């Protein structure tokens, strides 16, 4: 037997390395920590000593046989995800051909001493979360790549949140250790700050230092993956019920709809009748990463599937049916349901959405803001809100506009999840996805409005309804700067302006701002009313960006009694 690492043994004995080392020290075997590996003789000693000290675990009866774990690689851009996937592909491919292999699908299998691992080759947390957006989970284990010279970066944190939400084990690959400015300590410190305390520091986060470029310690990482898979009981029944998830799909001009899926349980065979989300078909061909046609794909395999009638979305589950007709009916039923089910954002208030989930007393938030300061302030305020025993969870917080990835993450949560932007907007793709997935996005510029809405969601009270009544219109002709801000010199073109009314600012038919009138003046006097055909000065609360030519719609708001 080769030398064995302490943390492999710790895994075997169902403990952490630190625990193991501490116990061994107690038993009079110090110094192991420095070596971090033991030879066979020491290993047997360690094992016996340890096992005498602890009660053996009740062996649970496990179903099925071990299958290759399915692994996704995540992390900040440029930290080495692609290089790592390439390094593994090059050195550990299951079947090698002369002249190399052109990989055809978004996954491949690696081999370590005869044990296989399936890598999904579409790095990035958006793809990762997309692969589980419909309640299915393609990935068994996530690898978080962190560059040792750069440390934990915003997308690293985002990836951590996505992995946490998926509730799967994670291994941190600290990459680029060949660089002279690599700083392992700094990386570990930052990881600990994000709840990933490395094993060496007494936590339970597994870290493996590697160099993807120099292909160093890649086997250590693979070994770790296999170990975690074993610990997690990644198993399957090859003859059991089919469980497979789409990790990629597209329409090919020559081959029609193509879906790539990973098989998690059971086996998929040529000529099987399947339903894949809203698509169905009889499997015409199963093609693996080397371009080989397979008669059957068993657990842990990734295969391309031909023969579907439509392109199924990422994350669709595959189900086998006895007859093609049954598969067809099933798919058609889903297509109709998809068209009619989701109420749009406009049709539901936050409180309504929340009331639908009354039994699940939990509100989950994805919160985005323009700066760390703003983010922390809003988060702090939200945590101070009365909750009526509702549990509040921040699934993810970050800086910048609301992205597709934020919406995806929210769409995977089974209880109610709101995506909130404070001082930031949602990008158009995110809005589209939110519409499709029925995810509620709320954006605010004013903190108390945000807090009011969340408080309503937390306490389940309905938002009061207001009715807007237009009372007049004015045109901005000149601007005056005063110490308090900008006064718009206006001409009232319709109705009247009231001091306590509200205003919509319209520029080129677009509404720029809505808010309150801060002051209303006629020649240097404060007045309450200015009528049609007169001039006046209007200052708008919180908005100094008025321009000559803007139209001001003057209106009042009244609460509607239900
Ligand atoms: P990705 O954006 O996470 O997929 O990152 P890439 O794999 O594209 O790597 C980004 C850059 O880092 C490339 O120039 C790689 O050559 C380099 N890189 C990746 N891994 C290593 C490593 O282990 N050591 C060094 N020195 N450079 C690396």
In angstroms, what CA-CA distances link 501 with 275, 335, 379? 58, 48, 32
Query: Tokens 């936050």 identify what position?
Result: 350
Task: Please give the Cα distance from 286 to 324 (Å, whole number).
Answer: 17
Atom of ligand 1 nearest to the CA of 212: 23
- Altogether, the residues listed in the chain come to a count of 562
* Closest of 118, 131, 193 to residue 165, by C-alpha: 131
Nearest CA to ligand 1 atom 6: 80
Q: Which atom of ligand 1 is nearest to the CA of 175?
A: 23
Q: Tell me, in angstroms, the distance from the centre of ligand 1 to residue 188's CA.
A: 19
> In this structure, what token pair is assigned to residue 118?
């399936």
In which element (H, E) is residue 371 found?
A: none
CA–CA separation, 69 and 268 (whole Å):
17
DSSP annotation of 300 reads: T
For the packed helices 218-232 and 81-92, what is the interaxial angle rounded to 10 degrees? 90
381 SS3 class: helix
pLDDT tens over the chain, length 562 residues: 455 676 677 777 777 666 777 777 776 665 554 456 667 777 777 777 666 655 544 555 668 899 999 999 999 999 999 999 999 988 776 555 444 455 578 899 999 888 999 999 876 777 888 887 666 689 999 999 999 999 999 999 999 999 998 889 999 999 999 999 999 999 999 999 999 988 878 788 999 999 999 999 999 999 999 989 988 889 999 999 999 999 988 888 888 899 999 999 999 999 999 999 889 999 999 999 888 899 999 999 999 999 999 999 888 899 999 989 889 988 887 777 665 544 444 444 555 555 554 445 678 899 999 888 889 888 988 888 877 777 888 989 999 999 998 998 888 876 678 899 998 988 989 998 888 888 889 888 888 888 888 887 777 655 556 788 999 999 999 999 988 889 999 999 999 999 999 999 998 888 888 889 999 999 888 999 999 999 999 999 888 889 999 999 999 988 776 4
Check residue 357 and give its pLDDT.
47
Dist CA 266 CA 74 (whole Å): 27
Residue 217, ligand 1, Cβ within 6 A: no
Per DSSP, the residues of 495-508 read EEEETT-EEEEEET
Cβ of 45 below 6 Å from ligand 1: no
pLDDT by residue (tens digit) across 163-204? 998 889 999 999 999 999 999 999 999 999 999 988 878 788
Q: What is the DSSP string of 189-241?
A: HHHHHTT--BGGGTS-BEEEE-BTTTTBSHHHHHHHHHHHHHHHT-EE-TTS-
Q: How far is the CA of 71 from the centre of ligand 1 (A)?
A: 19
> Which tokens is 385 given?
């809100």
Give Cα 342 distance to the centre of its chain: 21
Say what the pLDDT of residue 346 is.
Answer: 42
Q: CA-based angle 306:311:312, to the nearest 5?
A: 100
74 alpha carbon – ligand 1 mean position (Å): 13
Q: Ligand 1 centroid to 154 CA: how many Å?
A: 17
Query: Following DSSP, what letter does each residue of 328-358 receive, concatenated?
Result: HHHHHHHHHHHHHH---GGG--HHHHHHTTT
Q: Which atom belonging to ligand 1 lies closest to the Cα atom of 83?
A: 7
| Cα–Cα dist 434/376, whole Å | 25
153 Cβ closer than 6 Å to some ligand 1 atom: no
Give the pLDDT score at 140. Answer: 95
Neighbours of 470 (CB within 10 A): 13
Q: Is the minimum distance from the CB of 125 to ligand 1 under 6 angstroms? A: no
Going from the Cα of 80 to the center of ligand 1, the distance in angstroms, rounded, reads 4
The best mutation among 75, 81, 83 to test binding of ligand 1, ranked by most ligand atoms within 8 Å of the C-beta, falls on 83
Q: How many angstroms separate the CA atoms of 406 and 411, rounded?
A: 9
Instruction: Specify the 3-state DSSP secondary structure of 97.
Output: coil
Interatomic CA distance for residues 553 and 514, integer angstroms = 9
Q: Are 539 and 517 in contact (CB under 8 A)?
A: yes
d(CA 159, CA 141): 13
Rounded Cα–Cα distance for residues 410 and 368 (Å): 13
Pocket test for ligand 1, best of 89, 156, 175, 213 (most atoms within 8 A of CB): 213
Pocket test for ligand 1, best of 72, 73, 78, 89 (most atoms within 8 A of CB): 78
The CB of 198 under 6 Å from ligand 1? The reply is no
């Amino acid at each position: 037997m080769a030398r064995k690492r302490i943390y492999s043994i710790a895994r075997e004995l169902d403990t952490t390395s630190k625990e193991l080392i501490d116990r061994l020290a107690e038993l009079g075997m110090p110094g192991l920590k420095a070596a971090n590996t033991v030879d066979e003789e020491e290993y047997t000693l360690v094992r016996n000593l340890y096992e005498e000290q602890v009660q053996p675990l009740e062996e649970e009866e496990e179903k099925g046989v071990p299958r290759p774990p399915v692994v996704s690689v995540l992390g900040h851009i440029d930290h080495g995800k692609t290089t790592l996937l390439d390094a593994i592909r090059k050195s550990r491919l299951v079947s090698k051909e002369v002249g190399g292999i052109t990989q055809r699908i978004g996954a491949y299998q690696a081999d370590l001493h005869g044990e296989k691992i399936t890598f999904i080759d579409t790095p990035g947390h958006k793809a990762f979360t997309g692969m589980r957006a419909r309640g299915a989970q393609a990935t068994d284990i996530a690898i978080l790549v962190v560059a040792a010279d750069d440390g934990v970066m915003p997308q690293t944190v985002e990836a951590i949140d996505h992995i946490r939400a998926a509730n799967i084990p994670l291994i941190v690959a600290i990459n680029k250790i060949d660089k002279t400015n690599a700083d392992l300590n700094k990386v570990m410190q930052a990881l600990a700050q994000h709840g990933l305390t490395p094993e060496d520091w007494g936590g339970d986060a597994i870290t493996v230092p590697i160099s993807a470029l120099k292909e160093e310690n890649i086997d250590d990482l693979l070994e770790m993956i296999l170990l975690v898979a074993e610990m997690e009981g990644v198993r399957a029944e090859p003859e059991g019920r089919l469980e497979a998830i789409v990790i990629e799909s597209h329409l090919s001009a020559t081959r029609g709809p193509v879906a790539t899926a990973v098989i998690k349980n059971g086996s998929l065979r040529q000529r099987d009748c399947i339903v894949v989300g809203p698509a169905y078909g009889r499997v015409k061909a199963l093609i693996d990463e080397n371009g080989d046609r397979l008669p059957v794909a068993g657990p842990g395999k990734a295969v391309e599937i031909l023969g579907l009638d439509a392109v199924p979305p990422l994350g669709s589950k595959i189900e086998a049916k006895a007859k093609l007709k049954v598969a067809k009916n099933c798919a058609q039923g889903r297509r109709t349901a998809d068209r009619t089910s989701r109420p749009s954002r406009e049709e539901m208030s936050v409180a309504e959405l929340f009331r639908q989930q009354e039994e699940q007393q939990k509100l989950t938030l994805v919160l985005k803001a323009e700066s760390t300061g703003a983010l922390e302030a809003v988060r702090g305020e939200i945590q101070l809100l009365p909750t009526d025993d509702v549990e509040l969870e921040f699934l993810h917080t970050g800086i910048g506009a609301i992205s597709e990835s934020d919406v995806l993450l929210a769409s995977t949560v089974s209880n109610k999840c709101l995506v909130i932007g404070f001082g930031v907007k949602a990008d158009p793709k995110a809005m589209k996805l939110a519409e499709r997935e029925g995810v509620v996005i709320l954006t605010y510029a004013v903190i108390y409005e945000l807090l009011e809405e969340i408080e309503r969601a937390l306490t389940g009270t309905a938002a009061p309804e207001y009715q807007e009544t237009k009372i007049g219109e004015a045109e901005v002709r000149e601007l005056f700067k005063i110490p308090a801000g900008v006064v718009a010199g206006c001409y009232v073109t319709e109705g009247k302006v009231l001091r306590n009314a509200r205003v919509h600012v319209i520029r080129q038919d677009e509404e720029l701002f809505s808010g309150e009138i801060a002051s209303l003046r006629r020649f240097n006097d404060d007045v309450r009313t200015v009528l049609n055909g007169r001039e006046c000065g209007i200052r708008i609360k919180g908005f100094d960006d008025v321009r000559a030519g803007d139209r001001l719609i003057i209106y009042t708001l009244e609460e509607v009694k239900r």
